[in-house]
């Protein structure tokens, strides 16, 4: 296992190709759940968890059932990729919700309301598809899933921090709420542009 | 128990129907998709070596694959190879056509996701035409003391294209 | 409500992007050129139309417990169809939209309309609703793409409209440009709404 590849994937997914502001994945929660720091953190943790799990499971499904070369059926079923991935993510989220509810009620209290929202978070399906497109192996996929989740949490928490302060500042009436959030996101994206082209 | 059976059945039936329809459409479109890919590769080869009538793939035990281009009389009119290197934010893949004298005939950038308006300009003709007639063995970007003019604000992309051509050619040269 | 209103409401009054802030990820990601915007809009409209029609047809057969998984299955099937068809007939467009075609599955507009409208209304109305919402979505991406392409490249549909001496504002087609454009557009819309309210 080459650790420098993993390191590049981690830095790449958190900073350089940040899922939210570089790839535009997971914008709905980014704008919707970033009003308060607490909920941003809760959502972030839930997303890291689900993205890591989803990367693991979808990679296994793709490798052992869909991809002709490595499949146990020996059939090329790659065209069923989208439909199997979204279903397994939906099942996974439901399952995680049930397990957490039983095993860790405290955690469930904190994350519970965010879990159902994650099924339709395009970042989760996005990371599963990207892992396949980039030909990542098993370990790389898991690491990429976790790093993408961390990147998502990072910008979500940053955004929440800014928006909490924004409550006390004067914003033109028409720009209040969503419009000003997008402008802030734009400034953040400008800042993150500084990371592109980083070489190791 | 009845609550449990009906939803499962409905889901199963929808899955089956969806799977069948998708498999059918896949069968219809798969040959077209494969054909498109071949056509696109062929078109890129023709672009960089317009004199060639047909191409013969050559690959040996090593990992480098290249094509020999022949005209209608089956005389060799040049070679085509592809090379790839990581640029500013993506892998930049270039197809290079060589004359029989091993000078660059033409190049075309076939896939890249560089910064739009800067690095992405590497696909434009006014950038790629400057490679024609150059010797690929010692081709360098102007910033590295060579003759290839960098794209404005995108030296890294230019370097990726240039260095990929040089590195791959140096590996290939003994075989041509 | 009259049938024609089911069609027109999606385009302006309940525009999915500007008014309801749904489907933001594809809107921002593919609005780098008008051509991409039209392609994405057409693909999403097709999926929305088909899934709305299909779901309103089978709505009485689906047990309400597994409603959402059924909707996702139907939507994912149509998405896979359009994915394969586009790859076969318009490969360059398919390539430039990339993973955003499979990601139509998690576009909240489509699942949202299935749940909120098609599962409660007849086939004809659902069809009009799907078409209207789809076109509203397409209109929104096209407006954003138009602004970004003119400012960032100086062209519309690759035809130069600003003089060659115009130095393109490259930031407009980079991620920050997307956020700032949509922020300003939403601000503009709310100025218009506020004016309307104060008049009434």
Q: Do B156 and A79 touch (CB under 8 A)?
A: no
ipTM: 0.87
Q: What residues have CB less than 8 Å from A129, skipping those under 6 apart?
A: A81, A82, A85, C99, C102, C103
Query: By the CB < 8 Å criterion, does C170 face chain B?
Result: yes
Distances (CA, A) of A102 to A98, A149, B160, B168: 6, 24, 54, 58
**By C-alpha distance, which of A179, A25, A189 is closest to C19?**
A179
Q: Under a CB-based contact definition with an 8 Å cutoff, are residues C83 and B27 in contact?
A: no
> B63: pLDDT confidence band, cut at 50, 70 and 90?
low
Q: Do B33 and C87 touch (CB under 8 A)?
A: yes
Query: By the CB < 8 Å criterion, does B66 face chain A?
Result: no
Instruction: Give the residue extent of every domain in chain B.
Output: 47-175
Q: Closest-CA residue in chain B for A82?
A: B22
> Dihedrals φ, ψ of C165, to 5°?
-75, -15
Q: What residues have CB less than 8 Å from C135, skipping those under 6 apart?
A: C10, C11, C41, C45
Residues in B closer than 8 angstroms to C62, CB to CB, are: 10
pLDDT of residue A177: 84
Distance from CA of C2 to the nearest CA of A (A): 31
> B7: pLDDT confidence band, cut at 50, 70 and 90?
confident
Q: Give the Cα-Cα-Cα angle A127, C26, A148 (nearest 5 degrees).
A: 25
Mean pLDDT score of chain B: 87
Provide the domain count of chain C.
1
* Percent above pLDDT 90 for chain C: 46
Q: Do B18 and A197 touch (CB under 8 A)?
A: no
Distance from CA of A193 to the nearest CA of C (A): 8
Q: Do C66 and B3 touch (CB under 8 A)?
A: no
Chain C: list its partners (3+ Cβ pairs within 8 Å). Answer: A, B
> C75: pLDDT confidence band, cut at 50, 70 and 90?
very high
Query: By the CB < 8 Å criterion, does A79 face chain B?
Result: yes
> B64: pLDDT confidence band, cut at 50, 70 and 90?
low
pLDDT of residue A73: 81
Q: Do B18 and A83 touch (CB under 8 A)?
A: yes
Query: By the CB < 8 Å criterion, does B120 face chain A?
Result: no
Q: Is the pLDDT of residue C1 over 90?
A: no
> B72: pLDDT confidence band, cut at 50, 70 and 90?
confident
> C146: pLDDT confidence band, cut at 50, 70 and 90?
very high
pTM above 0.95, yes or no: no
Q: Do A83 and B26 touch (CB under 8 A)?
A: no
Q: Under a CB-based contact definition with an 8 Å cutoff, are residues A157 and A44 in contact?
A: yes
Q: Closest-CA residue in chain A for B14?
A: A83
Q: Which residue has the tokens 């976790």?
A: A146
Q: How far apart are CA B85 and CA C99, in angstroms?
A: 22
Query: By the CB < 8 Å criterion, does C140 face chain A?
Result: no
Residues in C closer than 8 angstroms to B40, CB to CB, are: 91
Q: Which residues, numbered 91 to 120 in chain A, qualify as contacts with chain C under a Cβ-Cβ cut-off of 8 Å?
A: 119-120
Q: Do C77 and B33 touch (CB under 8 A)?
A: no
Please provide the DSSP assignment of B19-60 as one string: HHHHHHHHHHHHHHHHHHHHHHHHHHHHHH-TT-SEEEEEE-
Beta bridge partners of B154: B151
Q: How far apart are CA C154 and CA C150, in angstroms?
A: 4
Q: Closest-CA residue in chain C for B117?
A: C170
Q: Is B110 helix (H, G, I), strand (E, B) or coil?
A: strand
Q: Is the pLDDT of residue A76 over 90?
A: no
Q: Do C73 and B25 touch (CB under 8 A)?
A: no
Q: Under a CB-based contact definition with an 8 Å cutoff, are residues A151 and A15 in contact?
A: yes
Q: pLDDT for A143-193, tens place per residue?
A: 999 999 999 999 999 999 999 998 888 888 888 888 999 999 999 999 988
Q: Closest-CA residue in chain A for B18?
A: A83
- Cross-chain CB nearest to B88 (options A17, A80, A196): A196
Domain that holds residue C183: 2-199
């Amino acid at each position: 296992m080459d650790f420098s590849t993993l390191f590049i994937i981690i830095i790449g997914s958190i900073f350089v190709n940040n899922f939210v502001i570089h790839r535009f994945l997971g914008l709905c929660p980014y704008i919707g759940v970033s009003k308060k720091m607490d909920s941003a953190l809760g959502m972030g943790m839930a997303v890291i968890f689900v993205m890591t799990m989803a990367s693991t499971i979808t990679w296994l499904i793709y490798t052992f059932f869909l991809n002709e070369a490595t499949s146990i059926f020996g059939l090329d079923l790659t065209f069923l990729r989208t439909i199997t991935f979204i279903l397994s993510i939906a099942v996974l989220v439901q399952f995680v919700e049930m397990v957490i509810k039983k095993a860790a009620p405290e955690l469930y209290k904190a994350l519970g309301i965010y879990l159902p929202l994650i099924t339709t978070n395009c970042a989760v399906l996005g990371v599963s598809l990207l892992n396949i497109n980039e030909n990542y192996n098993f370990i790389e996929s898991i690491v990429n899933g976790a790093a993408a989740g961390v990147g998502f949490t990072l910008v979500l928490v940053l955004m929440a921090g800014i928006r909490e302060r924004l409550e006390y500042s004067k914003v033109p009436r028409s720009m209040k709420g969503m419009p000003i959030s997008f402008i802030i996101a734009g400034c953040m994206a400008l800042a993150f542009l500084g990371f592109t082209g980083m070489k190791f | 128990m009845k609550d449990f059976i009906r939803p499962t059945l409905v889901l199963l039936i929808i899955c089956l129907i969806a799977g069948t329809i998708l498999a059918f459409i896949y069968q219809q479109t798969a040959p077209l998709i494969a054909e498109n890919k071949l056509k696109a590769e062929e078109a890129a080869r023709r672009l960089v070596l317009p004199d060639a009538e047909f191409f013969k793939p050559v690959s040996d035990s090593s990992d480098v694959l290249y094509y020999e281009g022949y005209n209608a009389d089956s005389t060799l009119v040049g070679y085509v190879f592809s090379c790839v290197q990581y640029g500013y934010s993506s892998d930049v893949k270039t197809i290079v056509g060589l004359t029989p004298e091993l000078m660059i005939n033409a190049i075309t950038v076939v896939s890249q996701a560089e910064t739009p308006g800067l690095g992405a300009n590497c696909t434009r003709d006014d950038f790629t035409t400057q490679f024609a007639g150059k010797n690929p063995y010692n081709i360098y970007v102007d910033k590295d003391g060579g003759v290839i003019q960098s794209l404005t604000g995108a030296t890294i992309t230019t370097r990726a294209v240039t260095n990929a051509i040089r590195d791959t050619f140096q590996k290939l040269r003994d075989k041509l | 409500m009259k049938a024609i209103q089911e069609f027109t409401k999606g385009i302006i009054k309940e525009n999915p992007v500007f008014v309801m802030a749904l489907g933001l990820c594809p809107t921002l990601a593919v609005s780098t050129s008008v051509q991409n915007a039209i392609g994405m809009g057409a693909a999403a409209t097709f999926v929305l139309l088909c899934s709305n029609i299909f779901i309103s047809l089978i709505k009485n057969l689906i047990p309400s417990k597994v409603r959402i998984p059924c909707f996702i299955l139907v939507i994912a099937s149509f998405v896979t169809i359009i994915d394969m068809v586009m790859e076969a007939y318009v490969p360059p467009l398919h390539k430039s939209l990339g993973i955003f075609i499979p990601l139509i599955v998690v576009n909240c507009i489509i699942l949202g309309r299935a749940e909120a409208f098609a599962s409660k209304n007849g086939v004809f109305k659902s069809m009009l609703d799907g078409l209207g919402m789809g076109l509203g979505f397409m209109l929104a991406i096209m407006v954003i793409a138009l602004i970004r392409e003119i400012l960032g490249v100086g062209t519309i549909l690759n035809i130069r409209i600003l003089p060659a001496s115009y130095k393109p504002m490259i930031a407009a087609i980079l991620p920050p440009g997307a956020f700032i454009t949509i922020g300003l557009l939403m601000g503009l819309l709310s100025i218009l709404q506020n004016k309307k309210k104060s008049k009434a």
